[in-house]
Homo-oligomer: A and B are copies of this chain.
Amino acid sequence: MKLYDTELTSALLLGTAQYLSPAILCEAIRASGCEVITVSLRREATDGAGTQFWDMLRETGMRVLPNTAGCHSAQEAVTTARMAREVFGTDWIKLEVIGHADTLQPDVFALVEAAGALARDGFKVFPYTTDDLIVGERLLEAGCEVLMPWGAPIGSGQGLRNPDALRAMRAHFPTVPLIVDAGVGRPSDAAQAMELGMDGVLLNTAVAKAGDPVGMARAMALAVQAGRAGHLADPMERRDMAVPSTPVLGLAELM
C-alpha cells in the first residue's frame, strides 16, 4: 500500500507501548515484518528511560509514525505533533484526539480541526477515527490521504465490533488507504479486517500483552497476509443451503 509518498510491502503497523522490555519489543518488531512503528510522545513523562528506548527503536530501522496519544484537545494534539516532528524528524503524524477517557474514542470534531491545522502546516496526517463516513469525508477534505478507523476501543481486543460499517467505509472510499487501528485482539480479527478490503492493520496491545509477544507478532504478520490474499482471491459466497463438496470419481476408472 502507498501511504502518502511511501510504498510499503507489509500491511501491518505496530505500536510500541506496554512491552515488558525494550528487548522484547525489538524482537516483536522484527518478527512482525512491519515497516512502520508508532511511538508516543508525552510531555508529562520524564522517567529517564526515554533516550535509550528511542535509540533502540532507531536501530530497528523502522519508519517511525509518532502519535499524539493522550491528547484531549485539538490544540494539545497540534502542539504535541509539532514537538514530535522535532524529536523524531518526520512529518508523519498519527493524530489521536481522545474524546472519552474510558473508551478512548476519538473526538471527531477536534480531530477534524487538528487534522486541518496539521495538514496546512505540512504534516502528513494519519487520523485515528471512527467508522463514520461523514467524518472520513471531512478528514479527507482537511488534507488527510489515509484514514485509520477503529475496530473497537483501544486496548479492548474485542475485534471488529461493526464489520458492516467498515465494509461501507471501503465502498465509500474505494481509493483511500484504510487502516484498522485499535480493537484487534487475535490473528483472525486481523485477517477479517483485511478480508473486508482494508489496506492495513495497526495494533499494539494484542502483541504487547500476549503471553508470547514475539510469537503473536509473527502470528499477526501471517494473518494480515492471509486476509489480504483471501480478499484478492475473491472468496465464495456464504450459502444458507448446504451443497455437496466432494467429487464423483468413477470406480471403473479408478481401479
Nearest to A17 among chain B residues (CB) is: B247
Q: A166-204: which residues lie under 8 A (CB-CB) from chain B?
A: 168, 172, 182, 185-192, 195, 204
- Residues of chain B within 8 A (CB-CB) of A253 are 46-54
Q: Is A42 engaged at the interface, CB distance under 8 Å to the other chain? A: yes
Chain B nearest CB: distance from A158 CB in Å? 5
- In the bound complex, CA of A190 to CA of B192 (Å): 11
Q: A138-184: which residues lie under 8 A (CB-CB) from chain B?
A: 138, 152-159, 161-162, 164-165, 168, 172, 182
Q: A47-93: which residues lie under 8 A (CB-CB) from chain B?
A: 47-54, 67, 69-70, 83, 86-87
Q: A181-238: which residues lie under 8 A (CB-CB) from chain B?
A: 182, 185-192, 195, 204-206, 208-216, 218-223, 225-230, 232-238
Are B219's CB and A157's CB within 8 A? no
Q: Which of B99, B218, B245 contacts A155 (CB 8 A)?
A: B245
Are B212's CB and A233's CB within 8 A? yes
Nearest to A16 among chain B residues (CB) is: B247
Chain B nearest CB: distance from A72 CB in Å? 11
Are A40's CB and B133's CB within 8 A? no
- In the bound complex, CA of A15 to CA of B248 (Å): 12
Are A246's CB and B69's CB within 8 A? yes
Are A244's CB and B134's CB within 8 A? no
Are A234's CB and B210's CB within 8 A? yes
- In the bound complex, CA of A152 to CA of B67 (Å): 32
Q: Beyond A162-B162, A246-B17, A250-B46, is A86–B238 a contact (Cβ under 8 Å)? A: no
- Residues of chain B within 8 A (CB-CB) of A100 are 133-134, 172
- In the bound complex, CA of A154 to CA of B246 (Å): 9
Q: Which 10 A-B pairs have the closest CB atoms?
A: A50-B253, A211-B234, A153-B242, A69-B246, A215-B233, A219-B229, A222-B226, A17-B247, A99-B134, A223-B226
Knowing that A222-B223, A223-B227 touch, tell me 16 more A-B residue pairs with CB under 8 angstroms: A45-B248, A48-B253, A54-B249, A54-B253, A54-B254, A102-B242, A104-B242, A155-B243, A161-B164, A164-B240, A186-B191, A188-B189, A210-B235, A213-B233, A219-B226, A221-B226
